[in-house]
Amino acid sequence: MDLAEQGWYRKSPLFVQNAVVSAHGLYSRVARGGPSFRRALAELLESQWFSEEAFAEIQNARLAALVEHCYRRVPYYRNVMRERGLSPSDITTVDDLPKLPLLTKEDVRTRAAELVREDLGRAPVSIGNTSGTTGTPLRLVRDHPSVVFEQATIWRHWTIDGLPLWGRRAKLQGDSILPSGANEPPFWRTNAPENQLVMSSFHISLETAPHYARALRAFAPRAITAYPSSVYFLAKTLLELDERVEVPLIFTNSEPVYAKQREVIEEAFSGKVYDVYGQAERVVYAMECPERTGLHVAPEYGVLELVEPEGGDAGGLLEVVGTSLANYAMPLLRYRVGDLARPLETGCACGRKMPLLSGIETRVSDMILTPEGRQLPFSGMTHAFMGLRHIRKSQLVQDAVDHIHVKVVPGDAFSEDDRRAMVERITNYVGERVRIDTELVDEIDRDASGKFRWIVSKVNPADWMDANG
């Protein structure tokens, strides 16, 4: 939700902004939470207890139907299968998937039109983009049934861990809902139809944290859904101020959540952290159950493969490859996600027979520190790049609290208008006091460990605190 980038929204009074956020919530609840959602959720709550054999039957049946659809209606897969002498009858089980090539982000970027079903017509679809931090943003098309099914999958996870349907929850996930320069509460807006308090990830500091605490106590959510870095920074700040807020459930997503973060978050909120793994491309979904022994992969949602990562050995970690079983508008089969994980061989005491993964190892989640003392999370900052289509790769290097150097590998159509739009959008997040300069480069180097770091921070928050009291 990037409303703060809209001038009319920024200039509107608070009650209008709350109404706009609630209107978004009402649309979401009506579009994604109707009878089809409830049917899907009921089916998922039942299937969570299926046997491995039953899950295999579900996956094989859905995969066979999807492959048939791809051959008949999706140009990319029809051409790939014909080139390999394949017909739909050759790919009827998960074991047959390796007959198809792996699909890369570059394939999706350059051949997006071929991956969309050719008879899409005017069917209702959802158009989304990846952030484009490690490459040009990918344009993703999802049909309405897949959007509803994803919502049901998310709510199954929340329900399993103790959140009743439409239960009160706070959200701390990078939503841009007020201007970056705002220094007076409220640092949140109300989404009444979804029973949700939407809180800014970009305004948390020692000065503002007590306001967040009071808002949470007044709202009394059963759960917080959050980026790990956002809720960790809020929790850490509250503990520094000797504040506590009781929230039983904290659902983290979009970034790895580390043991130290869990410890701090659970101490500050007297609750338990439950992690989830997903992607903008929606090919694999995995969740923590109440036992928290690993991430249960949802077999109804997609097919998970673990393959050797590009570049060789990664210390026993394998790369996640996913095939979505729900989206017929733009099917992604054997898609290389780019994340690393390892399977867990042991079962879970909860009794569910879903495959288990260890925690996902993704890119380092560095943060941007602003002159006001706000720490902006990796996942939140990616929103500044949503929809910028002519950037192959980018990197933010913060060398001072008031300066960010942006390296850009430009696409062929990159222009001064693109550069200006990028700087303006970053400024909306970090504030006017931060100078931003840009550099066009041919390539961006990885660090010594071989990882690509999108945010490289050379600013020590402790030094800032010492200098600013």
Q: Matching CATH topology for 3-45+147-295+345-357 and 368-468? A: no
- pLDDT at position 54 is 96
User: For residue 44, what is the enclosing H or E element?
Assistant: helix 35-47
Q: What are the backbone angles phi and psi of residue 126, rounded to the nearest 5°?
A: -110, 125
Q: What are the backbone angles phi and psi of residue 55, rounded to the nearest 5°?
A: -65, -40
- pLDDT at position 464 is 57
Which CATH number is correct for 3-45+147-295+345-357, 3.40.50, 3.40.630, 3.30.450, 3.30.1490? 3.40.50
Q: How confident is the model at residue 156 (pLDDT cuts 50, 70, 90)?
A: very high
- pLDDT at position 279 is 86
Mean pLDDT, rounded, for 426-435: 88
Q: pLDDT tens, 134-153?
A: 545 678 899 999 999 999 99
Selected residue with higher pLDDT from 464 and 409: 409
- pLDDT at position 29 is 84
- pLDDT at position 403 is 94
- As a whole number of angstroms, the distance between CA 174 and CA 285 comes to 20
> In angstroms, what CA-CA distances link 92 with 66, 86, 146, 170?
10, 12, 21, 43
Side chain identity, residue 212: Y
- pLDDT at position 450 is 41
Mean pLDDT, rounded, for 349-364: 78
- pLDDT at position 28 is 84
- As a whole number of angstroms, the distance between CA 428 and CA 4 comes to 8
Selected residue with higher pLDDT from 271 and 424: 271
- pLDDT at position 139 is 81
Of 110-114, 117-121, 321-325, give the range with the top mean pLDDT. Answer: 321-325
- pLDDT at position 453 is 73
Q: Are 96 and 305 in contact (CB under 8 A)?
A: no
Whether 365 shows a pLDDT value over 50: the answer reads no
For the chain, give every domain's residue range.
3-45+147-295+345-357, 368-468
CATH of domain 368-468: 3.30.300.30
- Residue with the two structure tokens 């500044």: 384
In this structure, of 232-246, 267-281, 304-318, 382-396, the range with the lowest mean pLDDT score is 304-318
Selected residue with higher pLDDT from 279 and 93: 93
Q: How confident is the model at residue 461 (pLDDT cuts 50, 70, 90)?
A: low
- As a whole number of angstroms, the distance between CA 469 and CA 462 comes to 10
- pLDDT at position 19 is 92
- As a whole number of angstroms, the distance between CA 45 and CA 468 comes to 52
Q: How confident is the model at residue 174 (pLDDT cuts 50, 70, 90)?
A: confident
- pLDDT at position 449 is 40
- pLDDT at position 466 is 52
Q: Does a cis peptide bond (omega within 30 degrees of 0) precede residue 256?
A: no
- pLDDT at position 304 is 94
- pLDDT at position 109 is 85
Q: What are the backbone angles phi and psi of residue 70, rounded to the nearest 5°?
A: -60, -40
Q: How confident is the model at residue 132 (pLDDT cuts 50, 70, 90)?
A: low
| Residue of 110, 114, 147, 103 whose CA lies nearest to 128 | 147
> What count of other Cβ atoms lies within 10 Å of the Cβ of residue 443?
9
Whether 468 shows a pLDDT value over 70: the answer reads no
Mean pLDDT, rounded, for 293-311: 89
In this structure, of 27-41, 274-288, 323-337, the range with the lowest mean pLDDT score is 27-41
Q: pLDDT tens, 61-75?
A: 999 999 999 999 999
Q: pLDDT tens, 212-265?
A: 999 999 999 999 999 888 898 899 889 989 999 999 999 998 877 888 889 999
Selected residue with higher pLDDT from 403 and 280: 403
- Residue with the two structure tokens 């999807």: 66
Whether 451 shows a pLDDT value over 70: the answer reads no
Q: Are 94 and 114 in contact (CB under 8 A)?
A: no
pTM, whole model, 2 decimals? 0.78
Bridge partners (DSSP) listed for residue 251: 225, 274
Q: Are 230 and 254 in contact (CB under 8 A)?
A: no
- pLDDT at position 128 is 72
In this structure, of 181-185, 352-356, 395-399, 413-417, the range with the lowest mean pLDDT score is 181-185
Selected residue with higher pLDDT from 354 and 372: 354
Q: What are the backbone angles phi and psi of residue 219, rounded to the nearest 5°?
A: -80, -30
